[in-house]
Chain A
Amino acid sequence: MSDPAFVYVVYIRATPARIWDALTDPDQTEKFWFGGRFKTDGARKGSDLELWSEQRGVDFTGQILESDPPKKLVWTFQHTREPDSLDGATTVSYELEVMGDDTRLTVTHDGFLDNSSLRRGVSGGWPRILSSLKSMLETGAPLTRAA
């Protein structure tokens, strides 16, 4: 048995290219992702990645499995402090689809163990991060205190 994937859908008034840039540029992720810099080698397939912040150091590491800008990015997620992650990496995918003048961003985080404390943690984290991303792209200001 394993817990179901966590799926979050958010609609953003921005182009897929702009959202892709925000998700893969450490200078931008720092503003909406709990102060974390999402560091990769150009978000290329096979690239190692980490989320690093001055306050907490490295939150998670991983590797880009699939990169099809600006439509799809799939990467592994191994948390550095959650015991669940010791059993293996989970997988995150971003899918971006144009919907008229908006973009639908679907984030799917999968591969959890049964009764996963990691899943509970990311279920609280993703809505904050993605709400802040949406605010940043639509208003210019991330949700400062919430993410």
Chain B
Amino acid sequence: MRKPDAVFVTFIAATPQAVWDLLTDKARSPQFFFGYVMSVGGAAGEPFTVTRADGTPDVAGKVLVHEPPHRLRVSWDMVAMPDVPTAELEFLLEPVDDVVRLTIRQFDGGPISDSFVEAGREGWSLIQASLKTLLETGRPLPPIKPRPPQ
């Protein structure tokens, strides 16, 4: 099994089902995805998309693995950057003691620049922090815009 190029781990006081429901809820996604709309198809093979608040498509892909409430894997193409090779993202939700360990694993499609590595870390760190706050407090984190790759 291939090693991920980046891993982001957080622990959330919730059930795997509650984390899964939020992660796949298009209507609530702007609250944890810095205002973007994330749409996750309901089965493997269906579309996966991320759309900016102004309607511009940001990410296009497909659902590769759909195993509620423990594992979601999607392909990830940056719409405006066709030169960036297709990546894959995997979300693992595991019960640990009384909480959930959310692991986001990023598999790059090829070498990417340091600014992309940094942008990925910023973006996923912010998304997982927002998911955690929303699930634990019922309120989103006050909005922060991620820094775009240079």
Q: Which residues of A contact B (CB under 8 A)?
A: 7-13, 99-102, 127-128, 131-132, 134-135, 138-139, 141, 143-147
Contacts and interface: CB of A to CB of B under 8 A. Distances in A.
A134 B129 contact: yes
A145 B144 contact: no
A145 B129 contact: no
Contacts of B18: none
A139 B142 contact: no
A13 B98 contact: no
* Main SS class of interface, B: mixed
B31 to A, nearest CB: 13
B58 interface: no
A14 B54 CA distance: 30
Contacts of B90: none
Given A9-B122, A11-B130, A143 B11 contact: yes
Interface in B103-150: 121-122, 125-126, 129-130, 132-133, 136-137, 141-144
Given A131-B11, A146-B11, A146-B97, A138 B136 contact: yes
Contacts of A102: 141-142, 144
A7 B141 CA distance: 22
Contacts of B142: 13, 100-102
B10 interface: yes
**Which 8 pairs show the lowest CB-CB distances between chains A and B?**
A145-B97, A101-B142, A131-B11, A9-B125, A11-B129, A127-B9, A145-B98, A146-B99
Given A131-B11, A143-B13, A11 B126 contact: yes
17 contacts: A8-B125, A9-B121, A10-B125, A99-B144, A100-B142, A127-B9, A127-B11, A132-B11, A134-B132, A135-B136, A138-B137, A139-B136, A139-B137, A143-B11, A143-B98, A145-B99, A146-B97
B92 interface: no
Interface residues of B, number: 23
Given A11-B129, A100-B144, 6 more contacts: A7-B121, A10-B129, A11-B130, A128-B11, A138-B136, A146-B11
Contacts of B143: 100
Contacts of B12: 131
Contacts of B122: 9
Contacts of A146: 11, 96-99
Nearest to B103: A127
Interface string B40-57: 000000000000000000
